[in-house]
Amino acid sequence: MTLKTHLATNLVTKFLLILTVFFSSLTVQAADYKIDTKGMHAFIQFRVQHLGYSWLYGRFNRFSGHFSYDEAAPEKARIQLRIDTRSVDTNHAERDKHLRSDDFLSVEKFPEATFVSTRYIPGKDGKGVLKGDFTLRGITHPLEIAVESIGAGDDPWGGYRRGFQGSARFTMADYGILKDLGPASREVELILSIEGLRVDTK
């Protein structure tokens, strides 16, 4: 083998090695995550105006879901959420009982609400818009969630975590909630804080 041939072979080998490392890194970045509800590191909260004078806050204590995210292709991000509507909690027992009734969530008939994403549109600085179908009281409508990436990295227990926050608004009447609470209280704002633990698929 001539020196020229030897050098050419080394260059090809190094180039192939670089390509292998590059594409391997892309593969590592794509991952599935299970939302960490067990460790109470994820929250689904809501707020609605009370007569236009103040904000009423609440949350759902039980929900589950998973998402996938690829830093090299964020537009492929996907998420699915299941919310136990019976777990609604506004820190007031009588009000929560009313919210579970047919006037509002009708939890006996519809014990679960869901969100299934259909598209993610990345923006700047880790922000974007997540589009999907939101089902509440058995009624499904499109919902857009404004999303912001909070961060990602190793945790102290050997896992890898990624977190986002998001917010969205919907009109109660669109989902069959016709209770008149005044013009300022027709919309509900959802506030989501989602932290996922990467699922080891090896």
Predicted confidence band of residue 19 (pLDDT cuts 50, 70, 90)? very low
What the chain holds in terms of domains, given with CATH numbers, is 31-198 (2.40.128.110)
pLDDT interval class at 15 (50, 70, 90): very low
Residues 6+ apart with CB under 8 A from 177: 103, 104, 105, 137
DSSP string spanning 86-104? GGEE-S-HHHHHHHHSTTT
CA distances from 44 to 27, 40, 61, 110, 157 (A): 30, 11, 8, 18, 25
Give how far the C-alpha of residue 86 lies from the chain's centroid of Cα atoms, to the nearest Å: 20
For the chain, the distance separating the N- and C-terminal CA atoms, rounded to the nearest angstrom, is: 41
- Give 196's pLDDT tier (boundaries 50, 70, 90): very high
DSSP state of 175: G
Q: Model confidence over 142-159: pLDDT tens digits?
A: 999 999 999 999 999 999
| pLDDT tier at 1, thresholds 50, 70, 90 | low
Percentage of the chain surpassing pLDDT 90? Answer: 77
Q: pTM of whole model > 0.75?
A: yes
Which amino acid, one-letter code, is at 32? D
DSSP 82: E
Tell me which residue of 26, 37, 27, 28 sits closest to 196, measured CA to CA.
Answer: 37
SS3 content of the chain, % helix, strand, coil (to 5): 25, 50, 30
> What CA–CA distance (Å, rounded) separates 57 from 95?
12
